[in-house]
Structure 1
Amino acid sequence: MTDRTLTLFHLSDIHFGLEDRSALAWVERCIAHERPDAVAITGDLTMRARHREFDAACRWIRQLDVPVTVEVGNHDIPYANLYQRFFDPYRRFNAIEDLVEAELDLPRLAIIPLKTTTRAQWQRFPWSNGWVTDKALAETLAAIDAQPAGTRILVTAHHPLTERRERDNKLLTINGKKAMAGLAGRKVDAILTGHIHDPFDLIAQTPEGPLRMIGAGTLSKRIRSTPPSFNEIRITGASIEVTARNLEDVATRDMMLCGVSENALPENALPPRQPGEPVAPVGNVPAVDPPVS
């Protein structure tokens, strides 16, 4: 195992079209000055998958000048153009197609994608929640199995793998439990996700052992209960340290959704309005729901 510390910037839910420009300029400066070993973006580059949003997102990502992998989020697949949604859903990613769901190989560490976004879900509409298909899980597990012995593994996905919401048993990510068990059985160090716009760092218990679940906040104006942020992940030896960096200098412990199990994570990015919904200690909840477009 190399003794060199690896630094990964974990960004998510940038939502071009409703991006926070000051936050993006800050992140851009951080990347340019600090030169992380890689940047992982866990989906929702855009707000409504419009061409102008993708154009802006792809331009911003291309100029980062560090290794980047990009997951597809539910906001990144067209809703208005159903033909393209069903037959060519990644077409608008063409400018960064080599980065989409790309595996990154770093010294003694591999970052491997897991697809959780689907074109349609007959069980529910509007198709915004997660689904780990058997094919997607098999591809990720095969990529993990192909790594040299001793390689540490981080998996990237858009949706947290919570399968059922705790308070009412609502279905969130289809096959989430199966996916968590499969990753835990491969001794994956952590799965990095987004979707809910608040950061977290939790341990899920599975039949195959524990699985660390790390979520990044948003870099958009659609905040839930924390200011715009990204995760800095530092890997040294057996240690993985997560810092939720933000422009308001809020401490990581106050940014993280803590004291909840993986089954009590929120369903989406909407601000908490009901008693018992998880809220980060900073409690930066907007008075009204954020705009959608």
Structure 2
Amino acid sequence: MATLFHISDIHFGAQDSHALDWFARSVREQRPDAVICTGDLTMRGTPREFEAAVAWLSALEAPVSIEPGNHDMPYYWEMWHRLRRPFERFKAAQAQAQRVVAVPGVTVVSLSTIVPAQWRLNWSKGFVTQPVLTRSLEDLNAAPAGLKLVACHHPLIDADTHGSGQTRGGKAALAQLAAAGADAVLSGHVHDPFDMTVDAGGRPIRIIGAGTLSERVRATPPSYNRLEWTPDDGLQVQVVTAS
């Protein structure tokens, strides 16, 4: 059996210290095989926020996989840095805090839905570019048999939540990921958990969203998703709320 904890939107700079301590204690006591973080490590993408996020993630007693979120780029008042080197700080943080996730029978494939600028007013929304999608499809096609998960920040299609990803190219990407054998897509961004099986180009695929461990809650208290998988029983998902 594989046990994975799925977190998102920890938002250092607007973090909930009680929720972060509670989650770290849950990792220490329950010893999951890995933690998957689907983005928004920070609130404004500042060096100080990334330092705090790295310290917390590095202290978790489990391997950690980390995706970028839209808040993990320099904010709008650092426009030159945002447009020229949008992922510099995130990649430095990822290099320090991410540890190889090697769980027998489980593959986690990255799919970035983050771009520094778009032809629409709200740049916080998702966008799937073809080169990024192509690399994810190649990784899926090369993956051994077992559970195949795709990790990204924005929901590729919107669930019934207060927030929205409005991910451009997301629906087409979901169909291609399903065709390549993905079992589920893990995301965050909307700060409320969800778990749905949807039709993607004629194939079923699950979309699973994690809530937040920050003060920026919506309809759900701070929470994380507990994922348990066996070849016989498949993937089971439980939303665990802070106590």
TM-score (normalised: structure 1): 0.76
Between 136-145 and 229-238, report the one with greater CA deviation.
Answer: 229-238
Could you list the per-position Cα deviations for residues 12-57 of structure 1 after superposition, in whole angstroms to 9, with x for gaps in the alignment? 0011111111000000111112111000000011111122111111
After the TM superposition, which residues 111-126 of structure 1 pair with which residues of structure 2 at under 5 Å, given as runs?
111-122=108-119, 124-126=120-122
What secondary structure is seen at the aligned counterpart in 2 of 1:104?
A: coil
Equivalences for residues 271-290 of structure 1 within 5 A = none
Q: Counterpart of 1:147?
A: 143
- Aligned Cα root-mean-square deviation (Å): 2.0
> Whole-Å Cα distance in 1 between the matches of residues 102 and 59 of structure 2?
20
Runs of at least 5 residues in structure 1 that lack an aligned partner in the other structure? 249-293
Q: Would you say how many aligned residue pairs link Structure 1 and Structure 2?
A: 237
Higher RCO (CA < 8 A, seq sep 6+)? 2
How far did residue 98 of structure 1 move?
5.9
Aligned 8 A contact 1:103 1:110 in 2: no
Could you say which residue in structure 2 is the equivalent of 1:129? Answer: 125
Query: Which of 159, 162, 181 is matched with 1:187 structurally?
Result: 181
Q: Which residue of 2 aligns with 1:160?
A: 155
* Distance (whole Å) between structure 1 residues aligned to residue 213 and residue 48 of structure 2: 18
| 1:132-190 alpha-carbon deviations (Å, 9 max, x no partner) | 10111100000111113x2320110000011799xxxx991111111110111122111
In structure 1, distance between residues paired with 2:143 and 2:34: 18
Displacement of 1:103 in angstroms is 7.1
Which of 190, 195, 202 is the aligned partner of 2:196? 202
**Residue 83 of structure 1: which of 75, 80, 85 is its match?**
80
Q: Partner residue of 2:30? A: 34
Q: What letter is aligned with 2:178?
A: A
Compute the displacement of 1:97 (Å): 2.0
TM-score computed with the length of structure 2 as normaliser: 0.91
CA distance in 2, matches of 1:171, 1:61: 25
2:2 aligned with 1:11, yes or no?
A: no
- Percent identical among aligned pairs is 44
SS in 1 for 2:211: coil
Q: Classify the secondary structure of the residue corresponding to 2:102.
A: strand
- Note if 1:47 corresponds to 2:47: no
* Matching residue of 1:240: 235
Three-state SS of the structure 2 residue aligned to 1:106 is: coil
SS for the counterpart of 2:52 is: helix
Residue by residue over 1:107-141, the C-alpha shift from the partner in whole angstroms, topping out at 9 and shown as x without a partner, is 0111111110111112x123100001011110000
Q: Which deviates more, 174-183 or 85-94? A: 85-94
Aligned partners of 2:93 and 2:188: how far apart in 1?
22
Q: 1:219 aligns to what?
A: 213
Structure 2 residues without counterparts, runs of 5 or longer: none
Deviates more, 1:183-192 or 1:84-93: 84-93
Larger Rg over CA atoms: 1
Cα pair 1:18 1:220 within 8 Å, conserved: yes
Deviation readout 1:186-225 (Å, 9 max, x if unpaired): 2211100000000000012122411100000000111110
Contact 2:137–2:177 (Cα < 8 Å) also in 1:
yes
